[in-house]
């Protein structure tokens, strides 16, 4: 249940740590697992202090960048077809390019199985686990 | 009702049309009119059908009932709000074409509360052995809130283990909430216990003492969080020697059935 201004964890190694949702792609009001959103990078990974912007060794994105992303975990319950539900403890996403390819090369953390239904097979294959 | 004979009545020829009418008069007085008139006399109670639902056509000269028809509503609509008898747990009764509280009805079964019967029927269908019902019954040996449970899926994939935070008892919709940590992220899953995709539910570890809450939602807080139950599952698997048996891994679909049976045995124990 992600909307404008929602903050998400970014769980790939693109360099973003926390991103903010600014738009949901498609005719949607609320984003769930597998939905594509537009985000602004709010916090960089490895940025120790406020003014340190030189620590962009491996970071492919930096603070203030506008990127597309795919939601992979939500705190809101997601019901499956057989009646079972899944709920995670945080909201998380993976940054992608406009073409749909992941920006990072690795994902650390579990992702929801709904990605399979939404045809995000690249992200699924990168993820260590799925639930 | 008599639309077709009316339409076929020859208009130009007076003699034939009169004969036609005479024949029809006999017919009507015998069958339709009398039958409906009898029914109309039956409904003097105030709760009966509203009068506007009953349409009668009287003959102009003889002032007799020439024809009539009634618009019936279905019995469910007729019954309207639940009658006081339905609230009591009285046995179901079959009402053969008699007025229920002054209302005309056909042969209908009026169950006191149909939902428990429906749930029982569905549970019997989905759980013929009764193992799943026994596993979550309110008995001493059943699984309870606070136990660590493992759910095996028939569709393959990793079995999901976690501490049971709550049991939602709702007939066929009975479900359990399991919580675990996977790659340091808390994951909660609701599973319907009568789901066919759920091949088996096993008790990994029982809680030492009975939980004093029905829903352990406080276990989501970092202070009370159990963390990952992977080590518990591992220890349980070692005791069960699941990892050492090779035949079970090869059996494939049969393994799932065996697990269900194991769960059943555990539930009955």
Architecture of domain B122-268: Roll (2.30)
Task: Say whether residue A119 is in contact with chain B using an 8 A CB cutoff.
Answer: no
Q: What is the CA radius of gyration of chain B?
A: 33
Judge: domain A7-130, CATH 2.30.110.10: no
DSSP-based three-state secondary structure for B170? coil
Dihedrals phi, psi of B146, to nearest 5 degrees:
100, -20
| Closest to B199 measured CA to CA, from B112, B266, B261, B149 | B261
Chain A residue with minimal CA distance to B154? A82
By the 10 Å C-beta count (0-12 exposed, 13-18 middle, 19+ buried), A79 is classed as exposed
Partners of residue B173 in chain A, C-beta under 8 Å: 83
Instruction: Give the CA-trace dihedral at A115, A118, A120, A124, to 10 degrees.
Output: 20
DSSP per residue, B80-145: -SPPHHHHTTPPPEEE-S--BTTB---SEEE-S-HHHHHHHHHHHHH-TT-HHHHHTSSSSSS--T
* pLDDT single digits (tens) B2-23: 555 555 656 677 788 788 778 7
* Domain ranges within chain B, ordered by starting residue: 3-70, 122-268
Contact A84 B190 (CB under 8 A): yes
- What average pLDDT does the structure give for chain B? 76
Domain boundaries of chain A, sorted by first residue:
7-130
CA B228 – CA B161 distance, rounded (Å): 9
**Backbone dihedral region for residue B241 (phi beyond 0: left; psi -120 to 50: alpha; all else: beta):** left
- Strand-strand pairing, B175-182 and B185-192: antiparallel
Closest CA in chain A for residue B155: A82
Answer whether B192 sits within 8 Å of A82, measured CB to CB: yes
Q: Of B184, B187, B192, which is closest to A84 when you measure between CB atoms?
A: B192
pLDDT at B243 over 70: no
Q: Which residue of B has its CA nearest to A86?
A: B189
Interface test with B, best of A75, A77, A85, A128 (most B CBs within 10 A): A85
Smallest CA–CA distance, residue A75 to chain B, in Å, is: 9
Side-chain half-sphere exposure of B85, counting CA atoms within 13 A: 9
- Kindly write down the DSSP assignment for every residue of B207-230, as one continuous string: -SS--SSS--GGGGSTTT-----H
pLDDT digits (tens, 9 = 90+) for B83-102: 444 444 455 555 555 444 44
Residue A50: pLDDT band (50, 70, 90) is low
Pairwise pLDDT comparison (B268 vs B228), residue with the higher score: B228
* B66 Cα distance to chain centroid: 47
ipTM: 0.89
pLDDT in tens, A68-87: 999 999 999 999 999 999 99
Q: Which residues of A touch B184 (CB under 8 A)?
A: 109
The neighbour count for residue A89, using CB atoms within 10 Å, is 17
Tell me the torsion sign for CA atoms A76, A80, A82, A87.
negative
């Amino acid at each position: 249940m992600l909307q404008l201004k929602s903050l998400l964890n970014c769980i790939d190694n693109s360099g973003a740590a926390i991103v903010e949702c600014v738009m949901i792609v498609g005719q949607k009001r609320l984003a769930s697992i597998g939905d594509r959103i537009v985000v602004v990078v709010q916090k960089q990974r490895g940025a120790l202090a406020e003014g340190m912007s030189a620590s962009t060794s491996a970071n492919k994105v930096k603070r203030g960048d506008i990127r597309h992303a795919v939601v992979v975990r939500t705190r809101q319950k997601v019901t499956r077809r057989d009646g079972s539900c899944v709920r995670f403890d945080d909201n998380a996403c993976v940054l992608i390019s406009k073409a749909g390819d992941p920006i990072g090369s690795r994902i650390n953390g579990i992702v929801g199985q709904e990605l399979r239904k939404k045809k995000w097979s690249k992200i699924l294959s990168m993820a260590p686990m799925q639930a | 009702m008599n639309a077709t004979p009316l339409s076929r009545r020859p208009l130009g020829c007076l003699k034939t049309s009169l004969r036609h009418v005479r024949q029809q008069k006999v017919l009507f007085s015998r069958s339709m009119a009398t039958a409906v008139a009898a029914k109309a006399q039956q409904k003097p109670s105030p709760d009966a059908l509203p009068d506007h639902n009953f349409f009668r056509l009287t003959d102009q000269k003889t002032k007799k009932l020439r024809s009539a028809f009634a618009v019936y509503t279905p019995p469910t609509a007729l019954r309207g709000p639940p009658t006081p008898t339905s609230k009591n747990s009285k046995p179901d009764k079959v009402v053969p074409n008699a007025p229920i509280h002054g209302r005309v009805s056909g042969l209908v079964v009026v169950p006191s509360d149909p939902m428990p019967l429906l749930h029982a029927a569905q549970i019997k269908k989905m759980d013929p052995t009764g193992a799943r019902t026994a596993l979550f019954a309110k008995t001493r040996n059943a699984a309870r809130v606070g136990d660590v449970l493992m759910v095996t899926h028939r569709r393959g994939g990793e079995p999901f283990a976690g501490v049971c935070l709550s049991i939602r008892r709702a007939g066929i919709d009975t479900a359990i909430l399991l919580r675990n940590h996977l790659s340091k992220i808390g994951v909660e899953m609701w599973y319907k216990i009568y789901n066919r995709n759920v091949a088996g539910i096993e008790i990994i570890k029982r809680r030492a003492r009975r939980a004093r809450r029905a829903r352990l939602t406080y276990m989501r807080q970092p202070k009370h969080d159990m963390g990952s139950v992977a080590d518990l599952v591992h220890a349980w698997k070692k005791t069960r020697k699941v990892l050492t048996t090779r035949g079970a891994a090869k059996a494939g679909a049969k393994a799932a059935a065996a697990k269900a049976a194991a769960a059943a045995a555990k539930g009955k124990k």
